[in-house]
Structure 1
Amino acid sequence: MSKLPAPPADGFCARAWAHTAELQQAIVEHPFNAALTDGSLDRERFAFYIVQDARYLAGFAQALAAAASRAEEAEDAAFLAGAAQGALLEERRLHAGYVEEFGLSDADIAGVDTSPSCLGYTSFLRASALTEPFPVLVAALLPCFWVYQHVGSTILEATGASADHPYHKWIRTYADDEFAAAVLSARQLTDRAAAAADEPMRERMLAAFTRATEYEWLFWNSAWEREEWPTTKWLRP
């Protein structure tokens, strides 16, 4: 992997990462990611994760597109719009791969409920897009970039993700240079937005970043538990 320039060590992103450092470690050490690392993650859990991730990416893309429409700098708007398009393309790729690998039809996938954690996370991002100022919105969007790179890079470092690793494609997707460059752009954009904001706005940004990072943990946990709606038993099919 090539060496990318590092963002400022004293900007908003450095502060936000330090604030959530223990939670970031808990995400890496979560049983889902531990099993992903050693290759023992069962196919049913990974399949559940892939379906939920595809659902999540559609909402993430909507929030990115909203951010792009509100960016004042053309470079930022272009990056966010490109990321929105990339998220939608990834959603379609995941959907197609799930159908092919697990032999499920579109009807089968449609029959899988969106988990409470997935719905909560996407609802948080959509609400942020509708109600929060631009700096808070980009802070809420950043963990999806950054946490995935951190998890992917950590797993790659631990395993090498050789071709015989059952999840090597997933690992390399989030640990490669292209994705690292996108994460760097997202961090630099967020740092610039924070630098131009006042302290109360930066506090709101930190709260949004923290809540999104909490949802990241919940998302991994929901895949490990194959989370269902506890109310389903009282509802007619």
Structure 2
Amino acid sequence: MTFTDQLRKENDDIFQMIFNHPFVEGIGRGDIDKKAIEHYIKADFEYLNAFMKIYGIALAKSTNRTDIAYFHDKINFILNDEIHPHHNFCDYIGVGYEELQGHPLPPTADHYIKHMMYHAQLGSLGEIVGALLPCPWTYLEIGKELIQTYRPTEEHPFYPWISFYADSRVEKTTNDMRNLLDQYATHISPEEKLRIKDAFRKSCQLELKFWEMAYTLEEWPSQEKVNFT
């Protein structure tokens, strides 16, 4: 069993909770509250901006040109390809993509980004990859799960979103990242493996919380919205 096989097995509970989350199931059914989608896009746009910056930190920590080229390509994928699922959601809710950019992060998205940035700034290259990997991996499996469960056709309102994440490009991103981490794991200490496992699991948990954040329209508490008396 490879290191990433082990990571997947140890976190299957979280993966299953993601598959069964009402937002994810709503994508499969083609029926999601439009405010929840808007909340999701606002947060995910900023999240992906941070993801690219963390790829940049990983690039700076790389010790060979192969890894440098790898992280450069992954930045390009997010910048030029991963906007398409967002456009599908925007078309569904009838809101321009530009209108949903530049908004403050809800608490969970803020936490998730800072979790990844912590490992990027203070951790090893393996920790960075361990913290980043759950994002493409869970989305790849969501796409495949929705294809298998709902058999969407091109008339499905979220067919572009589902087919994008079930596509070979996302599978390649996931497999490339897994291979990189598996190779890295062959020559590191047990202590570093534990740190990577911790980073990976927390990112899986935050992926689940991200869906919940969007579904519940999570916001920061304020005096106007919370009464403790």
TM-score above 0.5 = yes
Measured on the aligned residues, the alpha-carbon RMSD in Å equals 2.3
Is 1:79 aligned to 2:76, yes or no?
no
Is 1:102 aligned to 2:94, yes or no?
yes
Aligned mates of 1:49, 1:110 — CA distance in 2: 11
Distance 1:203 1:64, change over 3 A: same
- Corresponding residue for residue 47 of structure 2: 56
Q: Which moved more, 1:33-42 or 1:133-142?
A: 33-42
Amino acid at match of 1:127: Y
- Corresponding residue for residue 174 of structure 1: 165
Contact 2:58 2:71 in 1 (8 A): yes
Contact 1:61 1:84 in 2 (8 A): yes
Aligned mates of 1:60, 1:26 — CA distance in 2: 23
Question: Which of 174, 182, 197 is the equivalent residue of 1:183?
Answer: 174
TM-score, scaled relative to structure 1: 0.86
Aligned mates of 2:42, 2:82 — CA distance in 1: 9
Alignment of 1:41-52 (within 5 A): 41-52=32-43
Unaligned runs of 5+ in 1: 1-9
Is 1:160 aligned to 2:151, yes or no?
yes
**Structure 1 position 128, deviation (Å):** 1.5
Distance 1:90 1:151, change over 3 A: same
**Structure 1 position 73, deviation (Å):** 3.3
SS of residue in 2 equivalent to 1:233: coil
Aligned mates of 1:55, 1:144 — CA distance in 2: 14
- Corresponding residue for residue 196 of structure 2: 205
- Corresponding residue for residue 221 of structure 2: 230
Aligned mates of 1:19, 1:52 — CA distance in 2: 28
Identical positions, percent: 25
Is 1:30 aligned to 2:30, yes or no?
no
Moved over 4 A (4+): 90-101
Aligned mates of 1:188, 1:110 — CA distance in 2: 33
Distance 1:199 1:34, change over 3 A: same
Provide Cα deviations, 1:177-206, integer angstroms capped at 9, x if missing partner: 121111110110011111121111101110
Provide Cα deviations, 1:192-235, integer angstroms capped at 9, x if missing partner: 1111211111011100001111110110110111111112627x
Q: Which moved more, 1:73-82 or 1:169-178?
A: 73-82
Amino acid at match of 1:34: E
Contact 1:98 1:104 in 2 (8 A): no
- Corresponding residue for residue 150 of structure 1: 141
Distance 1:145 1:160, change over 3 A: same
SS of residue in 2 equivalent to 1:13: helix
Unaligned runs of 5+ in 2: none
Aligned mates of 1:50, 1:12 — CA distance in 2: 32
Aligned mates of 2:51, 2:15 — CA distance in 1: 20
**Matched residue pairs, number?**
225
Provide Cα deviations, 1:78-100, integer angstroms capped at 9, x if missing partner: 11121122223356656767776
Q: Which moved more, 1:66-75 or 1:135-144?
A: 66-75
Contact 1:51 1:95 in 2 (8 A): no
Question: Which of 187, 194, 200 is the equivalent residue of 1:196?
Answer: 187
